[in-house]
C-alpha cells in the first residue's frame, strides 16, 4: 500500500494505491476511527499516528471503496512547515557543473510552499528568466519531531515515507547572486508525489532514479551514489533546526541536468515540455511546463 493526496468533486481526501488501483481512505477512517483525515498532513498530526498507520496498512482492497470518477492528485504533503533541500549531493553532478570538490558539510537551501505542485499539475513558465532546468530527487517526508541527533542514532522510522520530487531551477536567477533562493522557489518549482512509500517499504540508498523530458531519458542514476546519506542529512539538519512531521527534505539530484552541459548543447525547458521523474519503489511524477 502507498498513500496519496487527491481532490475529488471539490473535496480533498487521503487515498491508498494498491495493485495499480486507487481507493478512498478518508471515509473508512471516519467510519471506523471517528477521525477526519483528509490528507497525509492530517494523518501525521493524528494522535497515535503510527498505530493508525499500521491499522490502515492491514486493510485490503475488499475493505475499501474504489475512488470512482475523475480526480486530481494533490502534493504529497499539502502544507509542510519546511521544504529543505540538499544541493550538490552526487559527485557526478558536482563534476558536471564544475563546482568545488566534495565538502565536509552538506549544502542546504530551502523552498517555500508556493513552490509546491502536484503530479499532473501544469508548471507556469516564469516571466523573469529563461533557463529552466529539471532535477530528479528522492524526497523524504519527516514522520516525527527530530532535534539534535547524531547519524548513529537515526532510526529509519523517523522518516514517515519517501516520494518523488523535481527541484525545478531557474539557472539564470539561481546564479545571479550568491544566494540560490529566487531561482529555486518559483511558483510550482517543487512538484512532489503522487505516491508515497513508507520508510520500511524500501531502502532509500538503493533506488534507481531517473528523469525523462518528452520521453527521452536525461538522468539515470542510483541513490547509492549520494555523498551524504539519509541519516547524515537528517542528523545535520536536526542539529541546526527542529524537524517537524510533514517537513520535506529534497536529497539532491544526480548528473544529467541542463546546466551541466556545454553551452552550445544547453536546451532549456520550454512551455509544452513534459518532465517525468521516476524512482524505483515509488513511481513516476509527471508535469508539463505551461
Do residue 154 and residue 231 come from a single domain? yes
Do residue 171 and residue 53 come from a single domain? no
Give the pairing type, strands 2-8 and 248-250.
Answer: unpaired
**pLDDT for the residue numbered 102:** 59
Over the stretch 47-74, which tens digit does the pLDDT of each residue have?
A: 889 999 999 999 999 999 999 889 999 9
Question: Which CATH number goes with the domain that contains 128?
Answer: 3.90.850.10
Do residue 194 and residue 98 come from a single domain? yes
Do residue 93 and residue 182 come from a single domain? yes
Cell, residue 282: 515509488
Rounded to whole angstroms, how far apart are CA atoms 176 and 229?
A: 30
Residue 211 in domain = yes
**pLDDT for the residue numbered 97:** 83
Do residue 156 and residue 17 come from a single domain? no
**pLDDT for the residue numbered 231:** 99
Residue 134 in domain = yes
Residues of the chain with pLDDT under 70: 98-102
CB 199 within 8 A of CB 160: yes
10: left (phi > 0), else alpha (psi -120 to 50), else beta? left
Instruction: Return the sign of the alpha-carbon dihedral for residues 224, 228, 232, 238.
Output: negative
**pLDDT for the residue numbered 104:** 86
Task: Tally Cβ neighbours within 10 Å of residue 177.
Answer: 10
Do residue 44 and residue 121 come from a single domain? no
Residue 126 in domain = yes
Of the residues 73, 99, 130, the one at which a domain ends: 73
Do residue 221 and residue 278 come from a single domain? yes
CB 89 within 8 A of CB 226: yes
Nearest to 102 by CA among 114, 121, 113, 88: 88
Residue 182 in domain = yes
**pLDDT for the residue numbered 77:** 99
Do residue 64 and residue 180 come from a single domain? no
Rounded to whole angstroms, how far apart are CA atoms 289 and 166?
A: 12
Task: Tally Cβ neighbours within 10 Å of residue 108.
Answer: 15
Do residue 13 and residue 96 come from a single domain? no
Of the residues 47, 73, 99, the one at which a domain ends: 73
Residue 38 in domain = yes
Instruction: Return the sign of the alpha-carbon dihedral for residues 108, 113, 119, 121.
Output: negative
Of the residues 24, 44, 73, the one at which a domain ends: 73
Beta-bridged to residue 3, according to DSSP, are 16, 196
**pLDDT for the residue numbered 100:** 64
Do residue 49 and residue 112 come from a single domain? no
**pLDDT for the residue numbered 99:** 66
Full residue range of the structural domain in which residue 172 is found: 83-289
Buried b (16+ CB within 10 A) or exposed e, 58-69: ebeeeebeebee
Nearest to 78 by CA among 201, 238, 248: 248
Rounded to whole angstroms, how far apart are CA atoms 77 and 111?
A: 14
Do residue 156 and residue 281 come from a single domain? yes
Residue 119 in domain = yes
Residue 50 in domain = yes
DSSP 228: S
Neighbour-count burial of 220, counting CB atoms closer than 10 A to its CB (0-12 exposed, 13-18 middle, 19+ buried): middle
Residue 78 in domain = no
Do residue 99 and residue 63 come from a single domain? no
pTM for the model: 0.97
Looking at the structure of the chain, the number of domains it has is: 2
Amino acid at each position: 500500500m502507498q498513500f496519496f493526496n487527491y481532490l475529488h468533486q471539490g473535496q480533498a481526501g487521503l487515498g491508498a494505491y494498491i495493485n495499480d488501483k486507487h481507493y478512498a481512505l478518508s471515509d473508512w477512517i471516519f467510519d471506523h476511527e471517528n477521525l477526519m483525515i483528509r490528507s497525509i498532513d492530517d494523518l501525521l498530526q493524528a494522535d497515535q499516528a503510527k498505530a493508525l498507520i499500521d491499522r490502515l496498512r492491514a486493510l485490503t482492497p475488499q475493505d475499501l471503496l474504489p475512488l470512482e470518477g475523475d480526480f486530481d492528485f494533490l502534493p504529497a504533503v499539502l502544507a509542510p512547515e519546511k521544504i529543505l533541500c540538499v544541493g550538490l549531493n552526487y559527485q557526478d553532478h558536482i563534476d558536471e557543473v564544475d563546482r568545488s570538490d566534495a565538502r565536509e558539510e552538506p549544502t542546504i537551501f530551502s523552498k517555500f510552499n508556493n513552490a509546491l505542485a502536484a503530479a499532473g499539475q501544469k508548471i507556469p513558465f516564469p516571466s523573469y528568466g529563461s533557463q529552466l532546468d529539471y532535477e530528479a530527487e528522492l524526497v523524504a517526508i519527516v514522520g516525527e519531531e527530530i532535534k539534535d541527533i547524531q547519524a548513529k542514532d537515526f532510526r529509519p522510522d523517523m522518516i514517515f515515507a519517501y516520494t518523488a520530487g523535481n527541484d525545478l531551477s531557474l539557472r539564470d536567477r539561481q546564479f545571479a547572486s550568491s544566494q540560490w533562493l529566487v531561482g529555486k522557489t518559483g511558483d510550482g518549482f517543487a512538484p512532489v508525489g503522487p505516491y508515497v512509500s513508507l520508510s520500511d517499504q524500501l531502502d532509500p540508498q538503493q533506488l534507481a532514479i531517473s528523469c525523462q523530458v518528452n520521453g527521452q531519458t536525461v538522468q539515470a542514476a542510483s541513490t547509492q551514489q549520494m555523498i551524504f546519506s539519509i541519516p547524515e542529512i537528517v542528523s545535520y539538519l536536526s542539529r541546526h533546526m527542529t524537524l517537524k512531521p510533514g517537513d520535506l527534505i529534497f536529497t539532491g539530484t544526480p548528473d544529467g541536468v541542463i546546466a551541466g552541459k556545454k553551452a552550445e548543447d544547453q536546451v532549456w525547458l520550454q512551455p509544452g515540455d513534459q518532465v517525468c521523474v521516476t524512482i524505483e519503489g515509488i513511481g513516476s511524477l509527471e508535469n508539463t511546463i505551461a
